[in-house]
């Protein structure tokens, strides 16, 4: 990714730590409450994915502001790959040590963030990328990716144990869809909004819309597996997308320069 740019990074209206807390707590709550009800549980899991998506999009925004935005796809796909590997490894702990089965999502988050830190240290110390917040943001994006994928997987299965995820998400190939979908949901907002007039709140409104769009697609995928809550996930995702995308468009219009009609050139030279 591009290593040039302003040393000040992105200007934030919302505290980055608050978004980190939103992403971690919202994501974990969504995963752990996915089985409380056949309808409500998957919806909560989908909403947890939205929280993780907003967190990850903010981290992308922070690190990519040090360059020209050209590194957004590379760091996005790299960290989401780390997130999937870490999350599945965390769930696998429950297979090896059944007494830790309930802690699988937490282990997945921790493993993802540790691997993200190692990769970021290699990028900064060995490759020599001069981005001061590279380590922190890579760790955050990897964690957000792990939670977003686990939340959507939990919305499909209604569970978060390794056997269920492997049977209903990995085996049918949904994991590949979640990989691409979550990557695009997290990396798209800053790419869509970058420029001299980029604003954190507007970018995160776009992130919320992409997160809800992922919920819609997850609802459709869940219908294939016969999940009871697929329709609720689809409807809540659709309502959330309409509201958040409308807010994003309104914010874009408010920030846009006005254009006034100046008329056509005269037919005859005076």
More confident residue, 2 or 228: 228
Q: What is the pTM of this model?
A: 0.89
Helices 72-96 and 40-64 pack at an angle, to 10 degrees, of 140
Q: Which pLDDT score is estimated for 11?
A: 73
Domain spans in the chain, listed from the N-terminal domain onward: 16-255
Q: Which pLDDT score is estimated for 183?
A: 95
Lowest mean pLDDT among 45-59, 66-80, 201-215, 217-231: 66-80
Kindly state the DSSP code that residue 167 receives in the 8-state scheme: I
Is the predicted pLDDT of residue 205 greater than 70, yes or no?
A: yes
Is the predicted pLDDT of residue 8 greater than 80, yes or no?
A: no
Q: Which residues contact 135 (CB under 8 A, 6 or more apart)?
A: 117, 120, 121, 124
**Average pLDDT over every residue of 225-232:** 82
Q: Which pLDDT score is estimated for 270?
A: 56
**Nearest Cα to 148, choosing from 97, 198, 76, 205?**
76
**Average pLDDT over every residue of 44-71:** 89
Q: Which pLDDT score is estimated for 269?
A: 62
pLDDT digits (tens, 9 = 90+) for 150-178: 999 999 999 999 999 999 999 999 999 99
């Amino acid at each position: 990714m591009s290593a040039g740019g302003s040393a000040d990074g992105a200007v934030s209206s919302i505290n980055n730590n608050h978004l980190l807390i939103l992403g971690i707590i919202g994501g974990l709550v969504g995963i752990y409450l996915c089985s409380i009800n056949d309808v409500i549980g998957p919806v909560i899991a989908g909403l947890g994915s939205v929280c993780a998506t907003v967190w990850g999009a903010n981290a992308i925004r922070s690190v990519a502001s040090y360059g020209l935005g050209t590194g957004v796809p590379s760091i996005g796909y790299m960290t989401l790959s780390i997130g999937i590997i870490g999350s599945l490894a965390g769930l696998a702990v429950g297979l090896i040590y059944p007494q830790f089965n309930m802690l699988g999502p937490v282990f997945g988050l921790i493993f993802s963030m540790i691997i993200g830190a190692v990769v970021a240290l290699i990028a900064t110390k060995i490759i020599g990328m001069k981005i001061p917040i590279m380590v922190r943001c890579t760790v955050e994006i990897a964690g957000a990716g792990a939670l977003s994928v686990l939340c959507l997987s939990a919305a499909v299965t209604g569970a978060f144990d390794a056997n269920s995820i492997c049977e209903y998400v990995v085996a049918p190939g949904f994991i590949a869809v979640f990989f691409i979908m979550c990557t695009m949901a997290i990396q798209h907002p800053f790419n869509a909004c970058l420029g001299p007039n980029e604003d954190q709140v507007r970018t995160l409104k776009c992130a919320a819309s992409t997160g809800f769009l992922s919920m819609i697609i997850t609802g459709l995928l869940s219908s294939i597996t016969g999940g009871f809550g697929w329709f609720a996930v689809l409807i809540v995702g659709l309502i959330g997308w309409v509201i958040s995308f409308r807010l994003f468009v309104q914010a874009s219009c408010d920030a846009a320069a006005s254009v006034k009609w100046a008329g056509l050139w005269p037919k005859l030279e005076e």
